[in-house]
Amino acid sequence: MSEALCLLSAAELQARVRRKDISPVELMDAVLARAARLQPELNCFITLCADEAMAAARAAEQDVMAGRPLGPLHGIPFTVKDIVNTRGVRTTFGAVPMRDNVPGQDAVAVARLRAHGAILVGKTTTPEFGSKCLTDSPLFGRTRNAWHAQRTSGGSSGGAAVAVASGIAPLAVATDGGGSTRIPAACNGVVGIKQSQGVIPHSQAQDLFGNQTYVTPTTRTVMDTALMMQAMGGEHPCDPWSLGVPAPDYVAAAQPHGDLRGVRIRYCLAPPGRAVATDVTAAFEAGLARLRELGAVLEPFSGDGFEVEPIWRAINHTVWRTRFAPIVAQHREALSATFVRQVESAAHVTGMEYQQAMFERSKLFLRVQDLLADAELLAMPTLTRTALPLDQDLFGQIEIDGRHYDNVRACWFPWTMPFNMTGHPAISLPCGFGNDGLPIGLQLVGRFRHDAGLLHAAALFESTHDFRGRWPTLP
């Protein structure tokens, strides 16, 4: 029974805890036992909070037995990417120089989950400061894909996605600055959303107005994503983008009621010149067919104007150089060569070039707005191929159907970076499996701040297949 608890969604666990079918202590026992068993193979945690989690579970059980009011996520385990602050629990940012850093307070999103009754299990792996699409670091080594030990988990929220995909905990707090939630979600067959700018306050952003990073949910089901958004969302004075943003009923929106009859969806396989693996193409076409069967009206759009990796890099790496150049200067030998190279690569970007990139970011927003003016959603593959090899070099070539291409970012995830820059909500959903047996993701993009509508469409799509019933073979 205990092992089976780990395979239940947060929504199912929520109902069982309230009915007293299971206790928070029984659930936490199962979760910690599974984490201890799988961690040596998957390496998805930097820190496990076993003692603190069990103490919180015992307190949660007492609340249930005493008939006290229960939060919406009472007793539900969750993990936090080790780039997001957790009060009293070390937050290393995946970097050796930060290995003993212990924040004095939670990030707003974490504090809200705790206030809703969720219990922190541990901190999940991230490359140094969330700096790449592969989850490895000199601090902890490599995090393996949940479905294949010799493939990457994706990144930078690789540990978060693997912890969910392997059934260790149903809810994970991740982050996304260019695809860091959606990439590992696609690699590991789970749900990863980058919500609209401001929907979930970001209390650690340093550039409050130009920020393009997000604190995000990762789960196995759309409903669980809605539960997290309901808890984490809502305005907060720390984030100007959150002010005045209404908090709709995400949980109601995630019910797979009705259909998509009359909903217009524009779709594109890839920006011009970008290769897409044949199995990804087939899964994408099958996903479009399911949307059509739900009643959606599908219309192709041109990928022109979405070759954005140079723009994203000029903005993002300039931010990184400003933040991390002092750390590189002081701790170069303790950091990976890949991280150092990325930080130093922005040295040649002039102020005028940075501002031109910001102008291009504005044009991109207007391009997406134009596409969504008379359509509710956009659809595209999350990634151009399944998970890369475990030892993939960020600055190496990417292989797609036997051919090799330069630039991992531009060639593997051309469709994730644009929506960090525009702020539109984008969700990666499992849509099939590749010829190698690894998961493939479909990305749906919604209108700005229409996250509830995106969740509803995602829930309907999810209801058309049985991928939630498939689990990786684990030791």
**Would you name the residues annotated as active-site residues?**
81, 156, 180
Given the structure tokens 């031109």, which residue do they identify? Answer: 356
Kindly write down the DSSP assignment for every residue of 105-130, as one continuous string. S--HHHHHHHHTT-EEEEEE--SGGG
Q: Are 416 and 179 in contact (CB under 8 A)?
A: yes
- List the structure tokens of 50: 């076993």
Q: Are 44 and 125 in contact (CB under 8 A)?
A: yes
Interhelix angle for 309-331 vs 337-345, to 10°? 120
Cα gap 441→62, rounded to integer Å: 41
Q: Are 217 and 173 in contact (CB under 8 A)?
A: yes
Q: Where are the alpha helices (DSSP H) in 150-277?
A: 158-165, 182-188, 222-232, 250-253
Angle at 364 between CA 362 and CA 367, to 5 degrees: 115
Q: Exposed/middle/buried for 1, CB within 10 Å: 0-12, 13-18, 19+?
A: exposed
Cα gap 440→378, rounded to integer Å: 17
Contacts 24+ apart (CB under 8 A), 353-362: 353/314, 354/314, 354/315, 354/318, 357/310, 357/311, 357/314, 357/315, 358/210, 358/315, 360/308, 360/311, 361/311, 361/315, 361/421, 361/422
Task: Please count the other Cβ atoms lying within 10 Å of the Cβ belonging to residue 329.
Answer: 9
Strand, helix or coil at 427? strand
Output the CA–CA distances (angstroms, integers) from residue 408 to 71, 137, 154, 249, in the order listed: 43, 18, 12, 38
Query: Which of the 8 DSSP states describes residue 347?
Result: G
Given the structure tokens 């912890």, which residue do they identify? Answer: 163
Q: Where are the alpha helices (DSSP H) in 233-275?
A: 250-253
Strands of 426-433's sheet in order across: 45-48, 119-124, 77-81, 171-176, 214-219, 191-194, 426-433, 439-446, 377-381, 264-267, 297-300
